[in-house]
Structure 1
Amino acid sequence: MIRDLMIGGASVEDTLTLWASSLRDAKQRIRPLFTQERVAASAAQFLDGLLGNEPRKTGWMRAEAAGDPGPWRQQSILGRGQWDADALRDIVREYALETLGDEDAVLVIDETGFLKQGKASCGVARQYTGSAGKITNCQIGVFVSYVSRHGHAFIDRALYLPKEWTDEPARLKAAHVPSDVGFATKPKIARQMITRAIAAKVPFSFVAADSVYGTGEIETLLRKAGKGYVLGVASNHVFHSWGKQQAVAGTASAIAQSLPKKAWRRLSSGGGTKGPRWHDWAYLELADLDASEYNDELAGEWTRGLLIRRNIADGSLAFFSTWCPKGTSMQNLVSVEGHRWAIEDSFETAKNELGLDHNETRSWHGWHRHVSLVMLAFAMTAVIRHRANTWPSLKKTRLRPRPKHRS
Structure 2
Amino acid sequence: MGTEGAVRVWSGWFVEFFASLAGVFGRVDRRRTAMAYLKALLAPVERKNGWQIAEHAGHTTPDRVQWFLSRPTWMADQLRDCVRSFVAVHLGRPDGVLVLDETAFLKKGAKPAGVARQYAGITGQIENCQVMVFCAYATDAGRALTDREPYVPAVWTPDAQRCREAEIPRACASGVVTKPELGRRMVERCRRAGIPSGWVAADSAYGQDRRLRAALERRRIPYVMAVPVDETVVTHGTGPLRADALTAGVPLVFERRSCGTGTKGQRRYDWALAEVTWPGGTENDGPRRGFVHLLPVRRSTSDPSQSACFTVHTRTGTPSARPSG
TM-score by length of 2: 0.86
2:269 aligned partner: 279
Call closer, same or farther: CA 1:292–1:221 in 2, change over 3 Å: closer
Match of 1:225 among 219, 226, 233: 219
Matches within 5 A, 1:219-298: 219-241=213-235, 244=236, 246-247=237-238, 249-260=240-251, 263-286=253-276
Q: Greater CA deviation, 278-287 or 69-78? A: 69-78
Quote the offset at 1:271 in angstroms: 3.0
Aligned partner of 1:196 in structure 2 is 189
CA distance in 1, matches of 2:264, 2:135: 25
CA contact (8 A) 1:267 1:331 kept: no
Instruction: Check if 1:35 corresponds to 2:26.
Output: yes
Partner of 1:9: 2
Of the three residues 292, 301, 310, the one matched with 2:299 is 310
Distance 1:304 1:117 in 2: 44
Amino acid at match of 1:39: R
Structure 1, gaps ≥5 residues long: 1-7, 337-407
Identity %: 35
CA contact (8 A) 2:152 2:172 kept: no
Spell out the pairing of 1:2-401 with structure 2 (5 A cutoff): 8-9=1-2, 12=4, 14=5, 17-68=8-59, 70-182=61-173, 183-214=176-207, 215-241=209-235, 244=236, 246-247=237-238, 249-260=240-251, 263-286=253-276, 301-314=290-303, 315-332=305-322
2:216 maps to amino acid: L
**1:105–1:146 CA contact under 8 A, matched in 2:** yes
Q: Per the alignment, do residues 79 and 178 of structure 1 end up closer, same or farther by CA in structure 2, a change over 3 Å counting?
A: farther
Higher deviation after alignment, 274-283 or 62-71: 62-71
Which ranges in structure 2 are unaligned for 5 or more consecutive residues? none
Q: Deviation digits for residues 251-291 of structure 1, max 9, x if unmatched?
A: 1111111132x522222223333333211122111259xx9
Moved more, 156-165 or 182-191: 156-165
CA RMSD of aligned residues (A): 2.8
Q: How many residues align?
A: 316
Partners of 1:89 and 1:155 within 8 A in 2: yes
Matched position secondary structure for 1:165: coil
Q: Kindly tell me: are residues 221 and 114 of structure 1, through their superposed partners in 2, closer, same or farther at Cα, counting changes over 3 Å?
A: same
CA–CA distance in 1 between the matches of 2:110 and 2:238? 52
Aligned 8 A contact 1:108 1:146 in 2: yes
Amino acid in the other structure paired with 1:278: R
- Cα 1:171–1:56 change in 2 (3 A) is farther
Greater shift, 144-153 or 266-275, is seen at: 266-275
Q: Which piece of structure 1 moves more, 198-207 or 16-25?
A: 16-25
Taking the aligned partners of 1:153 and 1:187, their CA distance within structure 2 comes to: 20
User: CA 1:285/1:144 → structure 2, altered by over 3 Å: closer, same or farther?
Assistant: same
Query: What letter corresponds to residue 280 of structure 1 in structure 2?
Result: D
Letter in 2 for 1:224: R
Q: Which structure's residues are more often helix, by fraction?
A: 1
Q: Normalized against structure 1, the TM-score is what?
A: 0.70
Identify the range of structure 1 (189-198 vs 271-280) with the bigger mean alpha-carbon deviation: 271-280
Q: Which has the higher contact order (CA 8 A, sep 6+)?
A: 1
**1:15 CA displacement:** 5.2
The aligned counterpart of 1:349 is none
- Of residues 319-328 and 187-196 in structure 1, the stretch that sits farther from structure 2 once superposed is 319-328
Amino acid at match of 2:110: K
